[in-house]
């Protein structure tokens, strides 16, 4: 199993995971030979041809050298538990990705234009040698403390699966909110698909909102293919008309209607803030309505000393976050967190984003673990959430989301205390479902599907909805929670089979008969074949399958 401490390729020691994505897992690692910090990305390959294609195209990307592109240092493969794992070694970029910036603040117009111009420079260099990124999004764009942009993951989506559309299994290469219409249609793509994704990124940088915000793949498909893109100045008055025109052109449904290439886009962006640009509108950096949030993100104006100091503290904060998530019972962690909050307040002030983030982590941990007096701690957490919002932490900031989840569970626990009628039954189910369901829209947008807090809330809301016979909501949530049985690496446990049965029942009672029958049919593949084997579970599977087959037949007639 690939885990911290492993030495990949005989020289790269994996230290800690940085995140997961379509390719696999990204690790902070140490190059033992050259003695430098690097990023190692690992992923399992399904076939020998996939390995060969990955190695061939990774070498191509390795030849791409540009100041705004994270350098590919090395590539290779190894065997882990009988499976082939490929890895890519990249430059470690010390900075903040644009997703992190947007979670905290709305950047200044001129600053965001400067970042976009650097993205264009990186795209131009890649397109010149025939590389299409295919996954331009805020999370793949890093900004250093000096304001230098580094585009990450060039070609990884293309290497990992050479297709550009839906595959036979329904897997989509790329990130759906940024995917050009031609990608959805399954036709060939060129660099203009990257320009479309850049247009989506610009909408977020200039307005704080996604260009398209469908709740699922079907809604996003409809929006990308047939819905007109937003007009940025409507969402943020004061932006110049030329900014609206750039977004409209980049998000054109037909690639032929978009700018010819990244260099043309860069020139148009430069004109927005260049000495020759004129506009009757108010200055872009001082819009007629206040910015949604003040920005303390990375940029050229940041002091190197302060940036380094903050980077060190943020690294400590990340370590505490990991401890709270992975080792919640660790002895003494609450006192260490409390001392860390006091240290941050002394260094940066009590209302600084770093301080309030640390405070949220501490109070959320106290509430979650049931430490202290709830009547005192819960109001403290509510006040900390207000301070965090005032300090610029956006509603989708992970620490904000974690604290809101802790607040919800802590409030429910306190609400039920001493109230016998709320401890069980329908009333308790409805109270918990309603309290947690209000968090779902932000959790689904702000946290990855693999996040344990998101999974916990979705799972509880699904279970409560099922118990309350809100089958449509239960089935919808279980669609995103339960991986298909055929994808499991081992036979399903009895608990997992029960969950799939409830999922099928909810789908069927919600009128999604085909979905219910698919789930039940898949379950029967794992039915024991011993002669005379009977079980109430399998009797229920057969009863539901007969019922839904009959209903489907009636619907067909």
DSSP codes joined into one string, 104-120: H----HHHHHHHHHHHH
Q: What is the mean pLDDT of residues 156-161?
A: 51
For residue 133, pLDDT beyond 70: yes
Find all residues with CB under 8 Å of 434, minimum gap 6, and list them.
none
Distance (Å, whole) CA 231 – CA 207? 10
For residue 240, pLDDT beyond 70: yes
Higher-pLDDT residue of 393, 470: 470
Lowest mean pLDDT among 156-160, 189-193, 507-511: 156-160
CA distances from residue 391 to 99, 144, 156, 259, 355 in whole angstroms, order as listed: 18, 21, 36, 38, 10
Confidence (pLDDT) at 345: 86
- Mean pLDDT for all residues in the chain: 79
User: Is 94-300 a domain of CATH 1.10.510.10?
Assistant: yes
Confidence (pLDDT) at 283: 36
Confidence (pLDDT) at 112: 94
The 8-class DSSP code of residue 230 comes to: P
Looking at the annotation, which residues are catalytic?
Answer: 135
Residues in the chain: 557
* pLDDT confidence tier of residue 266, bands split at 50, 70 and 90: very high
Place of tokens 């962006």: 269
Q: What is the mean pLDDT of residues 169-193?
A: 74
Q: What is the mean pLDDT of residues 103-122?
A: 91
Looking only at the bridges linking them, the beta strands covering 83-91 and 36-44 are: antiparallel
For residue 288, pLDDT beyond 60: no
Distance (Å, whole) CA 410 – CA 43? 38
For residue 535, pLDDT beyond 90: no
Produce one character per residue of 206-217: b if its CB has 16 or more CB atoms within 10 Å, e if not.
bbbbbbbebeee
pTM comes to: 0.51
Token pair recorded at residue 232: 């940025």
For residue 287, pLDDT beyond 50: no
Q: Where are the domains of the chain?
A: 1-92, 94-300, 304-455, 470-556
Token pair recorded at residue 345: 């307040």
For residue 260, pLDDT beyond 70: yes
Confidence (pLDDT) at 311: 65
Confidence (pLDDT) at 178: 92
Confidence (pLDDT) at 513: 92
Q: What is the pLDDT of residues 454-468, one digit of tens each?
A: 888 888 899 889 988
Token pair recorded at residue 166: 């839906």
Q: What is the mean pLDDT of residues 334-352?
A: 85
Asked if 384 and 359 touch (Cβ cutoff 8 Å), the reply is: yes
Asked if 67 and 108 touch (Cβ cutoff 8 Å), the reply is: no
Q: What is the mean pLDDT of residues 112-135?
A: 91
Confidence (pLDDT) at 349: 84
Q: What is the mean pLDDT of residues 361-388?
A: 88
For residue 353, pLDDT beyond 50: yes
Q: Quick one: CA dihedral 500, 458, 465, 177, positive or negative?
A: negative
* pLDDT confidence tier of residue 57, bands split at 50, 70 and 90: low
For every residue of 137-198, DSSP letters joined together read: SGGGEEEETTS-EEE--TTHHHHH----S--TT---SS-GGG--HHHHHT----HHHHHHHH
For residue 533, pLDDT beyond 60: no
User: Of the segments 213-217, 265-269, 398-402, which one has the largest average pLDDT value?
Assistant: 265-269
Task: For residue 12, list its beta bridge partners.
Answer: 8, 31
Q: Which CATH number fits domain 1-92: 3.90.870.10, 3.40.50.1950, 3.40.50.2000, 3.30.200.20?
A: 3.30.200.20
- Cα angle 116, 121, 122 (rounded to 5 degrees) comes to 95
Lowest mean pLDDT among 90-99, 183-192, 523-532: 523-532
Confidence (pLDDT) at 37: 93
């Amino acid at each position: 199993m690939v885990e911290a401490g492993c030495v990949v390729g005989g020289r790269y020691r994996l230290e800690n995971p940085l995140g997961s994505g379509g390719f696999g897992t990204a690790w902070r690692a140490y190059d033992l030979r050259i003695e430098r910090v690097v990023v190692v990305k690992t992923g399992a390959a399904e076939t020998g041809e996939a390995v060969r294609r990955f190695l061939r195209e990774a070498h191509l990307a390795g030849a791409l050298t540009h100041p705004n592109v994270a350098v590919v240092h090395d590539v290779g493969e190894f065997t882990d538990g009988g499976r082939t794992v490929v890895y890519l070694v990249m430059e470690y970029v010390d900075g903040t990705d644009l997703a992190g910036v947007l979670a905290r603040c709305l950047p200044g117009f001129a600053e965001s234009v400067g970042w976009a111009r650097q993205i264009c420079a990186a795209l131009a260099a890649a397109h010149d040698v025939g590389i299409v990124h295919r996954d331009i999004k805020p999370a793949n764009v890093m900004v250093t403390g000096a304001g230098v942009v580094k585009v990450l993951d060039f070609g990884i989506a293309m290497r990992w699966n050479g297709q550009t559309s839906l595959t036979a299994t329904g897997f989509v290469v790329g990130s759906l909110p940024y995917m050009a219409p031609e990608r959805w249609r399954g036709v060939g793509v060129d660099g203009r698909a990257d320009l479309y994704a850049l247009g989506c990124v610009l909408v977020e940088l200039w307005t704080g909102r996604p260009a398209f915000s469908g709740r699922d793949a079907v809604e996003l498909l409809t929006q990308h293919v047939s819905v007109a893109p937003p007009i940025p100045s409507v969402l943020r008055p004061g932006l110049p008309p030329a900014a609206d025109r750039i977004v409209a052109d980049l998000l054109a449904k037909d690639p032929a209607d978009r700018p010819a290439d990244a260099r043309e886009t860069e020139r148009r962006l430069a004109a927005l803030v260049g000495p020759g640009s004129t506009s009757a509108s108010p200055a872009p950096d001082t819009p007629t309505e206040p910015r949604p949030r003040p920005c303390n993100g990375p940029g050229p104006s940041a002091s190197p000393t302060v940036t380094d100091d903050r980077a060190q503290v943020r690294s400590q904060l990340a370590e505490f976050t990991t401890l709270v998530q992975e080792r919640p019972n660790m002895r003494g962690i609450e006192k260490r967190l409390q001392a860390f909050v006091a240290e941050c307040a002394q260094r940066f002030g009590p209302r600084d984003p770093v301080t309030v983030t640390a405070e949220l982590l501490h109070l959320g941990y106290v509430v979650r673990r049931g430490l202290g007096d709830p009547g005192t701690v819960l109001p403290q957490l509510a006040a900390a959430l207000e301070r965090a919002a005032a300090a610029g932490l956006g509603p989708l900031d992970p620490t904000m989301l974690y604290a809101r989840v802790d607040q919800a569970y802590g409030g429910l626990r306190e609400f039920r205390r001493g109230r016998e009628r709320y401890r069980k039954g329908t009333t308790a189910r409805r109270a918990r479902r309603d309290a947690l369901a209000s968090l779902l829209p932000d959790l689904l947008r702000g946290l990855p599907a693999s996040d344990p807090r998101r999974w916990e809330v979705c799972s509880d809301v699904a279970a409560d909805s099922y118990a309350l016979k809100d089958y449509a909501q239960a089935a919808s949530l279980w669609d995103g929670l339960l991986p298909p049985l055929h994808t499991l690496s081992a036979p399903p446990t009895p608990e997992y089979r029960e969950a799939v049965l409830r999922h099928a029942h909810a789908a069927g009672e919600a009128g999604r008969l085909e979905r219910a029958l698919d789930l039940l049919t898949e379950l029967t593949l794992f039915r024991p074949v011993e002669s005379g084997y009977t079980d109430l579970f399998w009797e229920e599977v057969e009863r539901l399958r007969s019922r839904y087959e009959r209903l489907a037949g009636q619907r067909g007639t």
